Amino acid sequence: MMSHTFIVADDHPLFRGALREILSSLPGEHQIVEAKDFDEAVAALARYQEADLLLLDLAMPGSDGLSGLALLRAEHAGIPVAIVSGSEDGRLIRHALDLGASGFIPKSSGFEEIRAAIASILGGDVHLPPHILPDGESDPEVAELIGRMRTLTPQQTRVLTMLGKGLLNKQIAYELGISEATIKAHVSAVLGKLGVDSRTQAVIRLSRLNAGRDGSAT
């Protein structure tokens, strides 16, 4: 019998409960870890580094949408991430896949649909519902940004997401437990890889990543 470790990251307890029931119905004995916000998801991934699948709600508190996904993919590239969302926006799906998501599961899906999607992803497939297609007309500016972000190291991605939250260098240094001089070096490297001249421009570019995301769709 197969045994898996799943991390369910969603701020709605009823939906977490529904996902737990679905995961428990899969053949085998499974460990199911729940996270109600982005910080708990980060902590769960750090604790369970051999997890088999993260089910992630992009609109969860603290996630910053796609930039949160970018951070998780940079830090835990070996753990598949399935986006579970109330939004079925084609651009959102395209950008999530470009950032390395292994699938997209609408929250409107039925029990058996979600169960089949999870089984497909565990089998190594990239899952999309048959009635949803990722938008082929991806915003070229966002597509270029995603390409540049994928050249960042995990630490540089952390620094970029913290810049996006408005943190100063000394605050980032404190949060990461490293020197301010090291943070300045990381910021310089991030600006170079993003092709911008200032941290303000970097933040503006990062904000484009989540432009048009339906934050109310959880």
Q: What CATH number does residue 151 fall under?
A: 1.10.10.10
In which domain, by residue range, is 193 found? 140-209
Whether 189 is covered by a domain: the verdict is: yes
Q: Which of 122, 148, 182 is the last residue of a domain?
A: 122
Q: What is the pLDDT of residue 157?
A: 92
Q: Could you give the number of structural domains in the chain?
A: 2
Q: Are residues 148 and 56 in the same domain?
A: no
Residue 134 binned pLDDT confidence (cut-offs 50, 70, 90) = low
Residue 128 binned pLDDT confidence (cut-offs 50, 70, 90) = confident
Q: Are residues 73 and 176 in the same domain?
A: no
Q: Are residues 155 and 90 in the same domain?
A: no
pLDDT, tens only, 61-113: 887 788 889 989 988 989 999 999 888 877 788 888 889 999 999 999 999 99
pLDDT at residue 136 above 60? Answer: no
Q: Are residues 12 and 117 in the same domain?
A: yes
What pTM value is reported for the model?
Answer: 0.84
Question: How many angstroms separate the Cα of 201 from the Cα of each of 20, 104, 191, 196, 208?
Answer: 41, 30, 9, 6, 11
Q: Are residues 145 and 114 in the same domain?
A: no
Q: What is the pLDDT of residue 135?
A: 60
